[in-house]
Structure 1
Amino acid sequence: MRLSDFDFQLPAELIAQHPMAARTGSRLLHVRADSLADLAFRELAGLLAPGDLLVMNDTRVLRARLLGEKEGTGGAVEALVERITGERSAVAQLRASKTARPGVVLRFGSARATVTGRHDEFFLLEFDEPVLEAMEREGRLPLPPYIGHAAGADDDERYQTVFAREPGAVAAPTAGLHFDDALLAQLRTAGVETAFVTLHVGAGTFQPVRVEDLREHRMHSERYVLPEETALAVRATRARGGRVVAVGTTSLRTLEAAAAGDVHLRATTGETNLFITPGYRFKVVDRLLTNFHLPRSTLLMLVSAFAGVQRIRHAYAHAIAQRYRFFSYGDAMLLERCADALAE
């Protein structure tokens, strides 16, 4: 398939700029094989059964946007930390009037970092103190580029999931933003189990696909951890006939990358650049809970692979007509896996 197969027109006013007052106040579109159902997210428990397993991404978004200047010249510079590579080292995207060369010192408030090299579009930075401490003190939450306001106190809370605990992402696993503690407790009472993976979402998630032939596209690698208890929970769910429900595309990619051809999932830690397009055969995930994604994006390709190309086109057209809210702070979909997504 080609990039243009995943394009659609979205009215700008449907791009959610702020979260709903309550996390569970968003809408939920249930996309089934032969029908669509308009629901509220708080009704999710009624769509799950005792013995089902929700797999969630517990990554925590870093305060990864740093504003500062070049030492000596005073030239403005903005850094978006892509990844922490050591206690005092990181890889970042830099925006400045002139390219920062190795040896240039950058100041971000009271934090100080030296450019030590470059790899593709990323710059290697060495901080004078632990990176996490510098970012927590001087950084800002990196809201997606389609959100038109700077991160405020409300975003500091609402652009993190209530189960975020492993710092390392530069973008939130947004399907998880709809859950609050009360809903999680309701699901546990109903017999729905939960398990966690960690995938640190990188800045590459916002990079556009620049080739028409999707076979030529290369994904950025992202770090993931699938703990032993989660692998055991998935195998136990399979054994009792329950369904594995991925909360978000990041959880799905972690599970599918870790399976690596083996449906008997095992604990693993690694990097993945798994690019899922129609024709991919899913090994682990039965259902996917996800937000609505950008036109021409790898995430739209993933959900089309999971639920069927025509079914997703129909669901998105319905969502636009019904004025659903799109992207990170928007509404959600619950997708059933299509047996033959390419044929769809």
Structure 2
Amino acid sequence: MSVLPPDPRQLSIHDFTYQLPPERIAPEPLPNRDQSKLLLYKQGSITDQQFQELPALLPTGSLLVFNDTKVVRARLFVRRPTGGMVELFCLEPVAPHQAIEPAMQQTGSCVWKCLVGNGRRWKKGPVTLEFEALGQPAVLTAERIEQHDGYALIRFSWEPATLPFAEVLHGAGHLPLPPYLNRADTDVDAVRYQTVYAAHEGAVAAPTAGLHFSEAVLAELKERQISAARVTLHVGAGTFQPVKAEHMAAHAMHGEPISVTAATLRQLQAHLPQPIIPVGTTSLRTLESLYWLGARLVQHPEAVPIWHVSQWQPYEEQREVTLEDALAALLRQLEITGSDTLHATTQLLIAPGYRFRMVRGLITNFHQPESTLLLLVAALLGPAWRQVYQHALANNYRFLSYGDSSLLLP
């Protein structure tokens, strides 16, 4: 294996691979959420646990940070006038709203960026889908208004026009299970591909580290005085996007919207310097993105705030800002604008060479070879990521979205 260069842009994704036998990919969830295995990596040693034991394994005084996004039924199977089916996978709203939450409340019509399956046979004209919403018959019409490289802009309209788009998707759509599961969604998935604390609709993939948490585990966390905070990152389809570039410099990270309340920022601020441990890579990327948003405010107080973190920003900043100052700057800016919630987007790529500012560990599943998620784990653990994955493979852990979990405490 090649020696890792100091600049993550020069990393070869081929140095972050392992052999994942297909039979190790979990095709279905376990009957009970908290009965999955839990690999504990703590300061270089590995032990095998069960997820229900998590509350007793966390460092004293930990703050767990959960991503409370909710997966929407983003896959629509609509019928062409000739009778054939077309699949539309809703990626992100375009008009009249680009922000996900108002877009989900839009009534009558809207435009979304979509992936189109079987699109070559859909030459022109609208396609339709009859469904039921709120106990009433309804019909959805879709029209392709622009074709781009890899996606299309689709105008949706529906009757009754008073339905919000969230109810349209709930009645007409299917859950977007990961493509590697290669199966249709079921009634079980409707429950189990959501976390028990999901609150804000907008994700097209689940924050899967959270799928292991049951009400019983959450109750025990509270009993043990393990604090909890919530952030929202609406997971995009790009989470399944393979890295095709030879080196990471040529890989474009997808942008995802994040929302964090002022109350959560104050909670993070008050918790320092005790351990902050994100539940899942999406929570981790949100927390680290908060640092970079605040650092920019500190470094450029006279500039118009930029509520976006680019994928290479952490590797280009020269001046160091403390975490305390970064959080304080975010709260000051919210006070200036009179807002109680920070809304931003992030393309943050965390790879070996990254220095973590906010987090002290991670709860996460086992990720695909040659993925940006595996790069994140390697950034946290260093070369020990191989030891962790070799142990999981040798000890019958289940992999990927419906697989087992790990608590990583480097």
* Identity, % of aligned positions: 43
Pick the structure with greater CA Rg: 2
Cross-structure match for 1:324: 397
> How far 1:50 sits from its partner (Å)?
4.4
Within a 5 Å distance, the mapping from 1:246-325 to structure 2 comes to 246-260=278-292, 261=295, 263-264=323-324, 265=327, 266=330, 268-308=342-382, 310-325=383-398
> How far 1:119 sits from its partner (Å)?
4.6
User: For structure 1, which segment, 142-151 or 283-292, has the greater mean C-alpha deviation from structure 2 after superposition?
Assistant: 142-151
Q: TM-score, normalized by length of structure 2?
A: 0.78
CA RMSD of aligned residues (A): 1.6
> How far 1:258 sits from its partner (Å)?
1.7
Verify: 1:333 aligned to 2:406, yes or no. yes
Verify: 1:187 aligned to 2:221, yes or no. yes
Within a 5 Å distance, the mapping from 1:121-270 to structure 2 comes to 121-129=150-158, 130-238=164-272, 241-260=273-292, 261=295, 263-264=323-324, 265=327, 266=330, 268-270=342-344
* Structure 1 CA distance for aligned equivalents of residues 148 and 169 of structure 2: 22
> How far 1:74 sits from its partner (Å)?
3.6
* Structure 1 CA distance for aligned equivalents of residues 375 and 122 of structure 2: 35
* Structure 2 CA distance for aligned equivalents of residues 28 and 40 of structure 1: 5
Q: 1:37 to 1:259 in 2, by over 3 A?
A: same
Verify: 1:106 aligned to 2:115, yes or no. no
SS at match of 2:289: helix
Amino acid at match of 2:141: R
Amino acid at match of 1:123: A
Verify: 1:83 aligned to 2:92, yes or no. yes
How many matched pairs? 332
> How far 1:136 sits from its partner (Å)?
0.8
Deviations 1:312-339 (A, max 9, x none): 11110110000100000001111124xx
Cross-structure match for 1:341: none
Within a 5 Å distance, the mapping from 1:2-21 to structure 2 comes to 2-21=12-31
Q: 1:154 to 1:209 in 2, by over 3 A?
A: same
Q: 1:200 to 1:99 in 2, by over 3 A?
A: farther
> How far 1:248 sits from its partner (Å)?
0.2
Amino acid at match of 1:107: T
Q: TM-score, normalized by length of structure 1?
A: 0.92
Cross-structure match for 1:92: 114
Cross-structure match for 2:314: none
User: For structure 1, which segment, 33-42 or 160-169, has the greater mean C-alpha deviation from structure 2 after superposition?
Assistant: 33-42
* Structure 2 CA distance for aligned equivalents of residues 285 and 107 of structure 1: 47
Q: Which runs of 4+ in 1 moved over 4 A?
A: none
Unaligned runs of 5+ in 2: 1-10, 131-138, 159-163, 296-320, 331-340
Q: 1:100 to 1:131 in 2, by over 3 A?
A: farther
Deviations 1:26-81 (A, max 9, x none): 011111232101111111111124431100000000011111123x3444210111
Cross-structure match for 1:340: none
